[in-house]
Structure 1
Amino acid sequence: MARAMHRYSLMLALTLCAFVPGPGRAEDQQDLPPYKMLRSLQFVQDSVVLGDNSAAEMQRFLLTTLDERLRSADKTVFDDSRNVDAVLIYAMSGGNPSTLEYLMSRDVNGHFDNRVADVLRKYLNGKGLLVVNTMVDVAKEYRDKKIGPYLSLVAGNVMSAKNPKAALQLYDWARLTAPGTIVEEAALRRSIALATEAKMVPEGFAYSQRYVRRFLHSPYASQFADLFVQLVVDDSAGVKPEDVVDILSFMDPPRRREVYLRIARRAAISGKNELATMASSRAQEIASDDSEAFGALASLYGGVANISTPDVGVAIRNINQIPDGELNPRDRALRDAAKAMAEAVTRAPDPKSLTQASSSNVVKPETTEHDAAAAAKAPGDKSSGSASVKPGTATEVATQDGGGQDAASSFNTFVTTSRSKLDVIDGLLKQESH
């Protein structure tokens, strides 16, 4: 680590010396080949994804300085193919898209491959799908060149909307040919996103493990955490708890606890009770200086998961013990929804709603000779006006006994009341989701 920091400090010092104004410095900047400036930019970008946040400002400075250098460069500068590659890589590394267009319009000597320039212009203008096949062919052709990893990365970005599996292959090639760089970080992160969308759980876990081992301190790691939580919860049927524990074991305790809590929360809302319980218990096991706050969250998410289980009584007690000050507005809304659901689950049924007409309450009509004769007739005989109403059936109860109407009225009242409470719960959950 010390050697890496020394190397980084030396690189920054050399870069600053090249660009800081002073006697003879302006001339040096104009004479500095673009490909050397690009190397400094690449080094700084790679340092950023490896966790050096102090390099972010230098990255912006180098992008601006390199842009000025390319626009002011003499045409003969591009006789060197390394400077041509520098232009293309700069365009694919967050540079100004109009600079590529500007240089292409002045390229009278054919230094730039028109196919590469054309697909990049389409890609940078949001029209990559129009040239997706050409882009893939170009990426394969330049696979072993300096621009190869970058072309594979952008080709994967375009192909992801058309063929996720083919895009994953392009991302694999990009990261394998540029290990430890911003290209590998981006390729891994986007591979996880594709695997999550396509419900490719084993592949998503394999990419996730590589990411946490290599780029845990990247400023883009929060995006990875979002994707990982989505992968685990949305496809929980194919997820083994030990795999989740294994991947998160590479994280430091604060990050690991945060991810467990996010899994518990999403799983509780999604009704994945076993997963929510596991994640909340894991979060509680991790010691913290702010253990009360994290313990409250873990209790909340675990309690929500246990509402539909025989442990609903314990869940209610845990939820009721959580003070408002320990929860943000979204979690307070979730707690209120959980309490409403728990109340509905544990409330004793209204005896009136269970009222049913029994045979003892039915006033049976007296049997007459006429009735006996009618009963003796064959079924469906039209001469019997009462053939469609059979004694002791619901039809008879509904037509002859007022008790059936009372039962139906009580049942309708019960349904209406329950629906109203469900609407309240749905409203609380909608507030929580915002």
Structure 2
Amino acid sequence: MRRLAAAFLLAGLPHGALAQQAVDGLQPYQMLRSLQFLQDTVVMGDHSAAEMQRFMLSTIDRALRTADPTVFDDPRNVDAVLIYAMSGGNPATLEFLVSKDVGGNFDTRVADALRKYLAGKGSMIAGGMEKMVPEYRGQRIGPYLALIAGNVTVTKTPQNALAFYDWARLTAPGTIIEEAALRRSIAITVELGMVDKALTYSRQYARRFVFSPYASQFADLFVRLVVSHYGALSDEDVRNALERMDDDRAREIYLRIARQATIDGKAKLAQFASGEAGARGVAISEGDRAVAGLYSGAAKLPNGKVEDASKALADIPDARLSPQDKALRAAAQRVAEEVLRPPVAESFRQDEDANIQNDISGETVSAVSGDERAGKAAAPGKTPGGSAPKLDPAFQTYVDRGRSTLDAIDDLLKGEN
């Protein structure tokens, strides 16, 4: 099909008209092969093939609706209709052809299951699909049916869905079927906390389909896997999963990991990911370098390197940060400022009102909590009389300022999430 598209351009003739001439007289299964090739090309990274894919879908649709019924005496053309329907084709065309099938060429069980699935009633066919898939193993529509079986069983029996996806991708390697099955397998294993399997699937996806238009979904899932299960996953696990990626895409994922780890307070992971982002390639942009520095600086706060972190954060130019990253930096800077702010000497003076008289011994003891010293009737943190202990005014001001700062930071981080 690439050669066909190139011929259109070289001839200087309308793309659609020449393409129509090129497919005239072809059998449905032959046109279907071209569609499959285009879809596989798209998930491998040639996004320019997407326009031709849309053209092929509409061309096949017209060819199927106008085909002589005897064409479907050939099982390859029957399979072509079913695969066309499962590959983004017009569901009404499948309905139209099955209704005209007087020769019994279509398996009505498969046709009925596809009609329900394409109409959004997948839960109604889950049981039937589990029985149907083994029957069609080794046949042209087998991998497609396995993929659909995984889709309709995933909510109730995710382990069964994984088995269907495994079978689909292993019998259709390098295709859009494998890409979809791998991506959905990652989603299941991340959701179920199956860390080892999720890492294995992620490594395979990152090596085979990183240029797919659906790779952003993989990136979301991988970031969630790493941040949620860091510890069970080592730095080397993460590095190995992304080692075959090109630098630009790997750097983007590392920055996303660093950002989420910073928000979640996972300083070690944030430092590792921001360091890896900076190390991937010499062509890192100033913007990416600034973002990596932001996450690295924020990650130093819990480790006691507050002064270094505060200086690093202040040195990052505003122009290099997105509005979200500016908000994150502001939150980190406020934390650093509060940590570095010197305490007021009077704040450490013991509040005499926090002492109570022991009724038994007559000794004065420090009130640890309302329940321990004042009895169960008193609320925690209050004197037996029910009034809150009075704090030194300077210390009360310090506490109030700290609480307002933490509330503001919480608001900023909630907005980020």
The 3 A distance-change label for structure 1 pair 398 and 190 is closer
Q: Distance in 2 between matches of 1:119 and 1:15?
A: 39
Pair 1:219-2:213 in alignment: yes
What does residue 9 of structure 1 align with?
A: 2
State the partner residue of 1:95: 89
Residue 407 of structure 1 and its aligned partner are, at CA, apart by 2.8
User: Counterpart in 2 of 1:191?
Assistant: 185
Runs of 4+ with deviation above 6 angstroms: 13-17, 361-364, 395-400, 408-411
C-alpha distance in structure 2 between counterparts of 1:398 and 1:176, whole Å:
70
Instruction: Identify if the C-alpha distance between structure 1 residues 82 and 307 changes in structure 2 by more than 3 Å, giving closer, same or farther.
Output: same
**3-state SS of 2:199 partner:** helix
Match of 1:278 among 269, 272, 287: 272
Residues in 1 aligned to 2:119 and 2:262: alpha-carbon distance in whole angstroms? 41
Over 3 Å counting, the alpha-carbon distance change for 1:108 and 1:13 in structure 2 is farther
Change beyond 3 A, Cα 1:387–1:54 = closer
The CA RMSD over aligned residues, in Å, is 3.2
Q: Displacement of 1:390 after TM fit? A: 3.3
CA contact (8 A) 1:34 1:86 kept: yes
Matched, 1:392 2:364: yes
Match of 1:355 in 2: 349
Tell me the TM-score normalised to structure 1 length.
0.83
- Compared CA separation, residues 183 and 14, structure 1 to 2 (3 A): farther
Taking the TM superposition and a 5 Å limit, the aligned residue runs for 1:27-46 are 29=24, 31-46=25-40
1:71-100 Cα offsets, whole Å, 9 max, x none, are 222222211111111111011111112221
Q: Which amino acid aligns with 1:158?
A: V
In structure 1, give the amino acid aligned to 2:364: G
Distance 1:418 1:144 in 2: 67
Q: Secondary structure at the match of 1:284?
A: helix
**Structure-2 residue corresponding to 1:169:** 163
Q: In the alignment, does 2:59 pair up with 1:65? A: yes
Q: Deviations over 1:346-384 (max 9, x none)?
A: 33334444331469x9999xxxxxxxxxxxxxxxxxxxx
Cα displacement (A) at 1:107 = 2.2
Specify which of 240, 252, 267 is matched with residue 246 of structure 1: 240
Q: Distance in 1 between the 2:40 and 2:101 partners?
A: 31
Q: 1:153 to 1:11 in 2, by over 3 A?
A: farther
| Structure 1 stretches lacking a partner, 5+ long | 1-7, 365-385
Q: Distance in 1 between matches of 2:21 and 2:275?
A: 61
- Note the 1:73-84 alignment, pairs <5 A: 73-84=67-78
Which amino acid in 2 is paired with 1:325?
A: A
Does 2:404 align with 1:420? yes
What is the aligned counterpart of 1:200 among 176, 181, 194?
Answer: 194
Whole-Å separation in 2 of the counterparts to 1:293 and 1:244: 23
User: In structure 1, how many angstroms separate the alpha carbons of the residues matched to 2:355 and 2:275?
Assistant: 56
> How much has 1:11 moved relative to structure 2?
5.5
Does 2:309 match 1:315? yes
For residues 355 and 207 of structure 2, the distance between their equivalents in structure 1, rounded to whole angstroms, comes to 75
Q: In the alignment, what sits opposite 1:378?
A: none
Work out which of the residue numbers 290, 294, 299 in structure 1 matches 2:293: 299
Q: Which runs of 5+ in 2 are unaligned?
A: 368-372, 375-381
Q: TM-score, normalised by structure 2?
A: 0.86
CA-to-aligned-CA distance 1:331-357 (integer Å, 9 cap, x gap) = 101111111222233333344443314
Corresponding residue number in structure 1 for 2:378: none
Could you say if the C-alpha distance between residues 324 and 76 of structure 1 is closer, same or farther in structure 2, counting changes exceeding 3 Å? same
Amino acid at match of 1:10: R
What are the Cα deviations for residues 269-301 of structure 1, in whole angstroms up to 9, with x where unaligned?
A: 111111111111111223443543222111110
Distance 1:425 1:97, change over 3 A: same
Give the SS at the match of 1:219.
coil
Counterpart in the other structure of 1:149 = 143
- CA contact 1:157–1:167 (8 Å) conserved in 2: yes
User: Letter of the aligned partner of 1:211 in structure 2?
Assistant: Y
- Go from structure 1 to structure 2 and tell me whether the alpha carbon gap of 1:91 and 1:108 turns closer, same or farther (over 3 Å shift): same
Matched-pair contact (CA < 8 Å) for 1:355–1:407: no
Amino acid at match of 2:404: S
TM-superposed deviation, 1:114: 1.4
Percent of paired sites with the same residue = 52
Contact 2:351 2:391 in 1 (8 A): yes
CA-CA distance at 1:108 after TM superposition: 2.7
